[in-house]
Structure 1
Amino acid sequence: MHKFRRHALLSALSAVTVATLLTTGCSAGSGSAADKAPAAAAETPEPAAAEEQLAVVSAATGGATPAAVADADAADQGKAKKSALKVASYDKKSGRAVISAPTKSNDSSPSTAPPSNSPSPSTSAPDSDKTPDAHKTPGTDKTSDADAGAKPKAAVAVGDVIASAPAPGAPDGLLAEVTKVVGAAEDGGGTTVETEPAELSSVLGETKADGTVPVDPSTMEVDPLVQGVKVSWAKTGDLAFGPEGAKLPLGSLRIDVGAAVATAEGAPASASASVEGFVQLAPEVSFSYDGSGSGTGSSPGGAFLGLTGDWASQWSLKGRAAGSTDGKPIRIPFAELHADPVIQVGPVPIVVNLDLVCYFQVDADGRVTVDVEQDLKGDFKVGGNFTWSKGWTGVSESHMTGEPLKTTVTAVGDVKAALGAEATVGLYGAVGVTADLAPYLRAEAEGSAEGSANGTGSASGSWALYGGVDLTGTLNLQLSIFGTPIFQKKIPLGALHEEWLLTKGEAATA
């Protein structure tokens, strides 16, 4: 009899329950399998705890990214779930949106069902075989019998929070809370609602997430601002070649530029100045969120938004440049880039808005003539980090090394030239972090001369070439989109300045 009951237990329980029973022991007088199942489940909470850690990955390509909805009536408010609802249209000025859901051909009820106070299930299709289908919660297969609080599949209610990838009228994506349900849209294609901007804490709740997602360079829109700009990229899984024949690493974007810069007034034609070379980037978006310990409506325990990546550049400065106006360097943007990558944080699609402005900048006194070239490689990380103890603080890091490829410095004077990028990172159209990464070349030359009445004399001089990087930026008010306290002014990221000697030399003549 004992062997028969043990066999029945092993057949009825899952592998986890069996392991628990074998650990705790099983005797002939221990009771039925139905009595043991609840106890075993109570002793194994690991699956529930694992749900709190969300993966951070790139959104799937090749199809529409599903929206996520935090149901105002759900027991776990502030935790969104994948939904079949879609933002059919959005008006940023009024905050009005049309929310629609896919309908089935055998549904007699329209997709514009009223909000949560809609009529009872008896108003659905009269065919009893179709009735359960009309009560499914969006994006699930559960009927109203399994979830008494479920709304009809096309309905939204006041308090619901919708997170959507880019949609008509919302090119930066949409994260909004429904404040009023107006009714069926005029064209019958959905439900018209009024919304207001929401915060990430209202869809991520007490979950945790941490990850870095690469930006596909082929999705970036590039607007050349000067003649001579060429753009190439390599997408993951493909190999490509740059304009000058150099093979690119996977997932990188390369911008080649060549342009003339102003020379000193009165300088000879032979002193014409120019900048040329390329910048190669492999940008990645870093995102983290820690909602543990925060209750409904309170701020998360931690958050981070930033931009990281690899950097490579090879460029040269030639001629006698005059690059100052009223003591300020001359900056010439040569390309603007924009992308709206969608990262998937669990079920929630988060739209990242990335803008890059590539530029060259010259600060020179117009006396020294140079022909210098530098090969630079490294990485960078900029962003904003939030903790309860310190609030929002800036993060700015860069590790770069360079080596000279060509060095000629004549005459006496100073010149500093940078080939850099200004980056802006935001979420759902709200600017969060602005950073300016400016790797540079700096040349300086000094000299002295002596003479006598008999016509003899001597001259000596020294020169040096330096490489370096400047990194500056600010955190903006819109970072409060995480649900953190709003600060009253922009917070500097903290300036980073590094410089290293590339080469130097001396000369003397009699």
Structure 2
Amino acid sequence: MRRTTRYAVLPALTAASLLAVTACSSGGSSAAGKATDAEPVAATAAPTDPGLAVAAAPAGAGAPSAVARADKGTGVKAAKSSLKVASFDQKSGKAVIAAAPAAGKKKPDKGVAPKPSQSAREGVAVGDVIASAPAPGAPHGVLAKVTKVVGATDKGTEVNTAPATLDALLGDSEAKGKVPVDPSAVKVVPLMKGVQVSWTKPDGIHAGPKGAKVPLGNLRLDVGASIPTPEGSPVSAEASASGFVQLAPEVDFSYNGKGTGSSGGPGTASLALNGNWSSAWELKGEAKATTADKPLRLPFAKLHADPVLQVGPVPVVINLDLTCYLQVDAEGKLSVDVKQEMKGDFTVGGSYSWGKGWTGISKANSEVSPVRATASASGKVKASLGTEASVGLYGAVGVSADLAPYLRAEGEASATASSDGKASASGKWAAYGGVDLTGALSAHLKIFGTPLFERRIPLDLYHHEWKLAGGEGSVSTPKNGVAPKKKAAAS
């Protein structure tokens, strides 16, 4: 009589692996002509056009705004303005624009439509394009063209507007720059108990648990909680997770309105989110069934920010949303204890060039430190600590991405025994580290003034996996009870 059982394979793995993915970069240079002794410098020196500066909008100065006049010629079409969006209705496009009346002039009576000359004195006219930082009724900023001046109110001039594009403001100018996101301006909504937020500013102001060391410009989320199985989940498990995710996001913006001929719109443009990230986390638990096609996904925090880039005179509002999550995908009966420390950088976004259209940008570099993975019995588990991101302009999402560093482990074990006393057992195991980066571009990127594309454009899938450690072995027991022979191999 023969019987078959399973025994536990309990390897403890420690390994290190390094992943390096080269990133592409581009740049250009120009030079001014030289002056001679016979010619005055002022007459011959041709200063190069440095383009518009790209920087974070100054804090404490109120919501900046810019206006492009309907009759403005080539070049930078917009100028810094004292106009303020007093209110904005996103559904109807109605807005109230506040501006100080000309000196010595009386405001029109409430409800009386201003004459064209009067509305011009108040700073707004049909055909004007207005760009504004977040304002009442417009938490993601305003980019709109005035289609009708309705009349004066006690808060300013009421106007009807329609959506506008950035080329109406930036014209044939050129701008390029990267701006870090201020971690103190990021709103964090915890979705699980045990989530703590930390950041430190250059002036020494610190938020978060006492003693938490966070580099300047970084936002850190610590999570430590028991994770119960959601009702109706295909997996029966109880697990605990602890660790942190640390991010230093920055926005990469570029625009070049030259080189399009009579086609209109920019020659090139791009919008991307990039930055450094690091994580260290530990997962312990037991999966007793398969998650099949429904991995156990547990978002633990949502983050939102509306950083304002000052592109020359124009305030460009970037909308950034992040969701941090833990995801477990399991098959078979597997008790797992994994620990992972990773760091790296990433870039996700879209790039436009006249004649070629929009293409996706997806790059990543990552490095994994020594990890621990212990698995028992037969089964598989994959645990990811990821971030979903979306980046847009003035409330319209243009780029979505999912960055998911992960650790997976698998084990197989079997044992046989017979009535004559002979027995044997064998097993093998392996652990892998990896990174997945997916995403897509949406038609909302037309806000640059580029032609509309008809469908979402997927980013190039970035996937890389490397083996951390593994091994296999067997044990046999003869009938006479002599000490068992062992065979083992490891990699």
Runs (4 or more) in structure 1 with deviation over 6 Å come to 111-116
RMSD: 2.8
How far apart, in 2, do the equivalents of 1:217 and 1:234 lie?
Answer: 8
Quick check: 1:166 aligned with 2:164?
Answer: no
Query: Which among 90, 100, 103 is matched to residue 102 of structure 1?
Result: 100
Question: 1:478 aligns to what SS in structure 2?
Answer: helix
Residue 474 (structure 1) aligns with: 440
Report if the CA contact (8 A) 2:75-2:170 is conserved.
no
Give % identity: 57
Query: Which among 61, 64, 72 is matched to residue 62 of structure 2?
Result: 64
Equivalences for 1:213-232 in 2 at 5 Å? Answer: 213-232=179-198
Amino acid corresponding to residue 49 of structure 2 in structure 1: A
Report if the CA contact (8 A) 2:197-2:207 is conserved.
no
Amino acid corresponding to residue 213 of structure 1 in structure 2: V
How far apart, in 2, do the equivalents of 1:492 and 1:74 lie?
Answer: 37
Amino acid corresponding to residue 61 of structure 1 in structure 2: A
Amino acid corresponding to residue 174 of structure 1 in structure 2: V
Q: TM-score, normalised by structure 2?
A: 0.82
How far apart, in 2, do the equivalents of 1:304 and 1:62 lie?
Answer: 28
Equivalences for 1:71-86 in 2 at 5 Å? Answer: 71-76=69-74, 79-86=77-84
Report if the CA contact (8 A) 2:291-2:330 is conserved.
no
Cα distance, 1:322 vs structure 2: 5.1
How far apart, in 2, do the equivalents of 1:363 and 1:312 lie?
Answer: 22
| Deviation digits for residues 86-132 of structure 1 (CA, Å, limit 9, x no counterpart) | 1111111221111121357x63333899878417xxxxxxxxxxxxx
How far apart, in 1, do the equivalents of 2:404 and 2:288 lie?
Answer: 19
How far apart, in 2, do the equivalents of 1:435 and 1:462 lie?
Answer: 36
How far apart, in 1, do the equivalents of 2:430 and 2:361 lie?
Answer: 32
Name stretches of at least 5 consecutive residues in structure 1 with no aligned partner: 1-18, 26-39, 120-150, 266-270
Alignment CA distance shift 1:454-1:249 (3 Å): same
Quick check: 1:359 aligned with 2:356?
Answer: no
Amino acid corresponding to residue 444 of structure 1 in structure 2: E
How far apart, in 1, do the equivalents of 2:151 and 2:229 lie?
Answer: 66
Question: 1:404 aligns to what SS in structure 2?
Answer: coil
Question: 1:320 aligns to what SS in structure 2?
Answer: strand
More helix by share: 1
Equivalences for 1:455-470 in 2 at 5 Å? Answer: 455-470=421-436
| Deviation digits for residues 149-198 of structure 1 (CA, Å, limit 9, x no counterpart) | xx85523111111110011111110011111111212x2x3211111010
Equivalences for 1:55-454 in 2 at 5 Å? Answer: 55-76=53-74, 79-103=77-101, 107-110=104-107, 117-118=116-117, 153-185=121-153, 187=154, 189-238=155-204, 240=206, 243=209, 245-261=211-227, 272-294=238-260, 298-321=264-287, 324-454=290-420
Alignment CA distance shift 1:291-1:375 (3 Å): same
Q: Which has the larger radius of gyration?
A: 1
Report if the CA contact (8 A) 1:380-1:397 is conserved.
yes
Q: TM-score, normalised by structure 1?
A: 0.79
Question: 1:300 aligns to what SS in structure 2?
Answer: coil
Residue 10 (structure 2) aligns with: none
How far apart, in 1, do the equivalents of 2:356 and 2:162 lie?
Answer: 29
Report if the CA contact (8 A) 1:103-1:111 is conserved.
no
Alignment CA distance shift 1:295-1:326 (3 Å): same
How far apart, in 1, do the equivalents of 2:138 and 2:373 lie?
Answer: 51
Residue 23 (structure 1) aligns with: 38
Report if the CA contact (8 A) 2:114-2:152 is conserved.
no
Report if the CA contact (8 A) 1:333-1:359 is conserved.
yes
Greater relative contact order structure (CA < 8 Å, 6+ sep) = 2
Task: Select between 442-451 and 273-282 the one with higher mean Cα deviation.
Answer: 442-451
Alignment CA distance shift 1:182-1:470 (3 Å): same
| Deviation digits for residues 372-403 of structure 1 (CA, Å, limit 9, x no counterpart) | 10110101110011112321111111111112
Amino acid corresponding to residue 466 of structure 1 in structure 2: Y
Cα distance, 1:334 vs structure 2: 1.0
Report if the CA contact (8 A) 1:263-1:322 is conserved.
no
Amino acid corresponding to residue 349 of structure 2 in structure 1: G
How far apart, in 2, do the equivalents of 1:262 and 1:323 lie?
Answer: 15
Report if the CA contact (8 A) 1:323-1:362 is conserved.
no
Amino acid corresponding to residue 125 of structure 2 in structure 1: A
